[in-house]
Amino acid sequence: MSAIVARLRAAGCVFAEDEARLLVAHAATADDLARLVARRVDGEPLEYVLGWAEFYGLRIAIDPGVFVPRHRTEFLVGQALAVTQPDAVVVDLCCGSGALGAAVQASIPSVRIHAADIDPVAVACARRNVPAAAVYCGDLYDALPGRLRGRIDVLLANVPYVPTGEIDLMPAEAREHEARVALDGGTDGLAVLARVAAGAADWLAPGGSLFVETSRAQAPTGQAIFAAGRLRARIVEDDDGANVLIASR
């Protein structure tokens, strides 16, 4: 164990002891452990090496290339759960691994979960975490069945919001391993958010709510974008700096 910790620490892993314990627990044999450690030392995200990420108390299956859910996004899930009723229609748009939808369904099992992503690799991964038949591949609302139009009670959209010019400034684990389509939010980081806002009023049920994560700097502009899309929006922020725009018809 000490040798593994030393290798991980030398590779720049801040939580080397915790990672070493996870790798040892995950490995089936000594040779398997050696391969796992080598992948991590080479810079591959721990979640890809393990095949799962911890999110909202769940183990979410993660495949290489799929966006790894961040713990700050648990704040968005908590905000959504505060208004989600049993049997609600919940859509996880830009779903990646489907972590947000899975977290909502784990907390309220009776909800009817749907999820969509433009990346086929992410869609295949999401089908391991939420009901496979309700995960669709396509561009935003175009991926969803027409029967959901005007019937979505809770719309979760963890859209990519990193400005294109700032992607090269991200940690190597993200910029070198996660799909660019899951990170790139356009010139100002708000391009995908604007497209989600433009269609939300047509897809939300009366009284339905939309939840989108954004940065503190982007939140006021995002709020104005929602207003232009016939939505009432407010900004909420937690103590750790996570920002969520909550909009409703």
Q: What is the pLDDT of residue 249?
A: 84
Q: What is the pLDDT of residue 243?
A: 95
Q: Check: CB of residue 205 under 8 Å from CB of residue 170.
A: no
Q: What is the model's pTM?
A: 0.94
Q: Check: CB of residue 172 under 8 Å from CB of residue 193.
A: no
DSSP designation for 28: S
Q: What is the pLDDT of residue 245?
A: 97
The CA distance from 227 to 238, in Å, is: 23
Which residue is associated with the tokens 């979410």?
60
pLDDT in tens, the chain (249 residues): 899 999 999 999 999 999 999 999 999 999 999 999 999 999 999 999 999 999 999 999 999 999 999 999 999 999 999 999 999 999 999 999 999 999 999 999 999 999 999 999 999 999 999 999 999 999 999 999 999 999 999 999 999 999 999 999 999 999 999 999 999 999 999 999 999 999 999 999 999 999 999 999 999 999 999 999 999 999 999 998 899 999 998
The CA distance from 179 to 182, in Å, is: 5
